């Protein structure tokens, strides 16, 4: 019997997205304009205050406008050479953003779980939901990544674990021992993603050993980007390295021409401009230390800059001056920084390390604000 009583066929009036797509909150990028639309100095997107390598800018003019090399062959070879990797184990993406999405898509789907930490990178949530998987959020340890809390959430449904190291937006960093311990305790069929978007800012002696893990094991991917220290965010270039099986999966589903010809040419030039990279790293290290020192001096007013290994500092406002009021005060002083109430951080501002005079002006403005609060 195929007849059903009272069952009207559903009215087909409009396309309906999948329920897991409807549950996604679209990514909110850092702003570059104030309330009245006046341009502000943008310290809200972790961009390089020194701009882009002049060598990369020169390479842009030479790039062809026809289809790019679909395999980014020269760029992958240069990346592999620089980091002592096998080029066959490197895959490029349209930003590391594409890489993060296709990792989730390649290994997780409806009924599966994807784990990351609270106060983690906003894209992990979107990547997990986009493929229908269930995001599972581990509690933090005073804003840092808690390996034991992550491991406590692993079940037979777990497919992917995302860890940014350094983490965005907290700036917190896990040493090699913790990354090793996390990997050792994960089942072999769980993909561990170590997102090193800020890896170039980390002091060499603090290296977290992620590349070595990715070279030695079948379930580790390390992701990197040209958006941060290289100053090429506008070109959308990221990459990952890992075992051949993982790279093969990502190659099947990435966009076929996912890195533009200008992007490939600029990244290749930027990679070998060691002087620019080193200048950016030193500038960041020194300015960050000075900035943290100035804010730490405001500790009795409730300001608490979290220790950072990245090119930004998350500042907690635990006294009379609220993060929201500080955001407005900084906009009045000409700066836009990142307030993240949507990520559960209404009490904090993430401030990108900018030029020297800008960091001084921000510290001055914050000092004036707390003094006005009495
Ligand atoms: C900025 C950032 C990225 C890089 O994004 P792109 O898509 O490469 O521009 C990846 N992960 C984290 C944690 C980041 O902060």
Section 259-268 average pLDDT: 98
Q: Of 91, 170, 197, which is best to mutate to test ligand 1, by the most ligand atoms within 8 angstroms of its C-beta?
A: 197
Angle between helical axes of 54-62 and 261-272 (0-180°, round to 10):
150
Contact partners, residue 60, CB within 8 Å, separation at least 6: 262, 265, 266
Length of the chain in terms of residues written: 374
CA 52/CA 43 separation, integer angstroms: 16
109, 224: one domain = yes
Domain assignment present for 1 = no
Quick check: 12 pLDDT over 90?
Answer: no
The gap from C-alpha 116 to its chain's centroid, in whole angstroms, comes to: 13
Q: What is each CA distance from 223 to 12, 130, 211, in whole angstroms?
A: 42, 19, 10
CA 337/CA 350 separation, integer angstroms: 6
Domains: count for the chain: 2
Domain assignment present for 305 = yes
pLDDT at 7: 63
Element (H, E) at 224: strand 220-225
187, 322: one domain = no
Domain assignment present for 320 = yes
255, 155: one domain = yes
pLDDT at 5: 59
Task: Look up the domain containing 132 and give its range.
Answer: 54-272
CA 224/CA 196 separation, integer angstroms: 5
Domain assignment present for 20 = no
* CA end-to-end distance (rounded Å), the chain: 80
Contact partners, residue 42, CB within 8 Å, separation at least 6: 30, 31, 32, 336, 352
CATH of the domain at 264: 3.40.640.10
| Residue at which a domain ends, from 272, 293, 308 | 272
pLDDT at 28: 80
The pTM for the full model equals: 0.95
108, 230: one domain = yes
Domain assignment present for 14 = no
If you measure from the C-alpha of residue 143 to the centroid of ligand 1, how many angstroms do you get, rounded to a whole number?
Answer: 19
Quick check: 73 pLDDT over 80?
Answer: yes
pLDDT tens digit string along 212-252? 999 999 999 999 999 999 999 999 999 999 999 999 999 99
| Main-chain phi, psi angles of 81, to 5 degrees | -60, -45
Domain assignment present for 2 = no
Quick check: 2 pLDDT over 90?
Answer: no
310, 199: one domain = no
Handedness of CA 139, 185, 211, 173 (dihedral sign): positive
Quick check: 3 pLDDT over 60?
Answer: no
222, 334: one domain = no
188, 221: one domain = yes
| Residue at which a domain ends, from 242, 272, 302 | 272
259, 356: one domain = no
Q: pLDDT-derived band of residue 1, with 50, 70 and 90 as boundaries?
A: very low
pLDDT tens digit string along 178-215? 999 999 999 999 999 999 999 999 999 999 999 999 99
Quick check: 276 pLDDT over 60?
Answer: yes
pLDDT tens digit string along 26-63? 888 777 777 777 789 999 999 999 999 999 999 999 88
141, 74: one domain = yes
Q: pLDDT-derived band of residue 374, with 50, 70 and 90 as boundaries?
A: low
Domain assignment present for 22 = no
Q: Of 104, 121, 266, which is best to mutate to test ligand 1, by the most ligand atoms within 8 angstroms of its C-beta?
A: 121
pLDDT tens digit string along 309-361? 999 999 999 999 999 999 999 999 999 999 999 999 999 999 999 999 999 99
pLDDT at 331: 95
Quick check: 97 pLDDT over 60?
Answer: yes
pLDDT tens digit string along 111-170? 999 999 999 999 999 999 999 999 999 999 999 999 999 999 999 999 999 999 999 999
Q: Other C-beta atoms within 10 Å of 278: how many?
A: 12
Q: What lines the ligand 1 site, CB under 6 Å?
A: 46, 95-97, 121, 164, 168, 195, 197, 225, 227-228, 233, 238
115, 139: one domain = yes
CATH of the domain at 305: 3.90.1150.10
The burial of 360, by beta-carbon neighbours within 10 Å (0-12 exposed, 13-18 middle, 19 or more buried), is given as middle
If you measure from the C-alpha of residue 370 to the centroid of ligand 1, how many angstroms do you get, rounded to a whole number?
Answer: 33
Q: Which residue has the higher pLDDT, 256 or 12?
A: 256
If you measure from the C-alpha of residue 264 to the centroid of ligand 1, how many angstroms do you get, rounded to a whole number?
Answer: 18
Q: What is the mean pLDDT of the chain?
A: 95
| Residue at which a domain ends, from 272, 302, 319 | 272
If you measure from the C-alpha of residue 173 to the centroid of ligand 1, how many angstroms do you get, rounded to a whole number?
Answer: 16
311, 235: one domain = no
179, 223: one domain = yes
Domain assignment present for 229 = yes
CA 260/CA 72 separation, integer angstroms: 9
């Amino acid at each position: 019997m195929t007849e059903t009583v009272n069952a009207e066929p559903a009215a087909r009036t409009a396309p309906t997205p999948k329920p897991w797509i409807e549950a996604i909150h679209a990514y909110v990028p850092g702003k570059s304009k104030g309330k009245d639309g006046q341009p502000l100095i943008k310290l809200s997107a972790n961009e390089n205050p020194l701009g882009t390598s002049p060598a990369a800018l020169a390479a842009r003019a030479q790039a062809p406008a026809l289809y790019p090399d679909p395999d980014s062959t020269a760029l992958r070879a240069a990346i592999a050479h620089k980091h002592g990797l096998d080029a066959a184990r490197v895959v490029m993406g349209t930003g590391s953003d594409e890489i993060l999405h296709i990792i989730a898509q390649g290994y997780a789907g409806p009924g599966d779980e994807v784990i990351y930490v609270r106060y983690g990178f906003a894209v992990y949530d979107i990547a997990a939901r986009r493929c229908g998987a269930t995001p599972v959020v581990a509690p933090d340890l005073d804003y840092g990544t808690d390996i034991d809390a992550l491991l406590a959430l692993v079940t037979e449904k777990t497919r992917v674990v995302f860890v940014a190291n350094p983490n965005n937006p907290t700036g917190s960093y896990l040493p090699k021992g913790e990354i090793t311990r996390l990997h050792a305790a994960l089942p072999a069929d769980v993909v561990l993603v170590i997102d090193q978007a800020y890896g170039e800012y980390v002091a060499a002696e603090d290296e977290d050993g992620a590349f070595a893990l990715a070279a030695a094991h079948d379930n580790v991917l390390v992701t990197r980007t040209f958006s941060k220290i290289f100053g090429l965010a506008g070109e959308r270039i990221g990459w990952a390295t890992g075992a051949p099986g993982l790279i093969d999966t990502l190659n099947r589903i990435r966009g076929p021409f996912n890195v533009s010809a200008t992007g490939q040419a600029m990244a290749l030039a930027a990679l070998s401009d060691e002087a620019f990279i080193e200048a950016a790293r030193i500038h960041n290290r020194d300015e960050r230390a000075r900035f943290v020192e100035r804010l730490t001096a405001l500790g009795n007013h409730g300001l608490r800059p979290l220790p950072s290994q990245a090119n930004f500092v998350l500042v907690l406002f635990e006294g009379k001056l609220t993060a929201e009021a500080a955001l407005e005060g900084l906009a009045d002083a000409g700066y836009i920084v990142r307030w993240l109430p949507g990520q559960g951080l209404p009490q904090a501002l993430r401030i990108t390390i900018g030029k020297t005079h800008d960091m001084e002006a921000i510290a001055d403005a914050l000092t004036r604000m707390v003094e006005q609060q009495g």
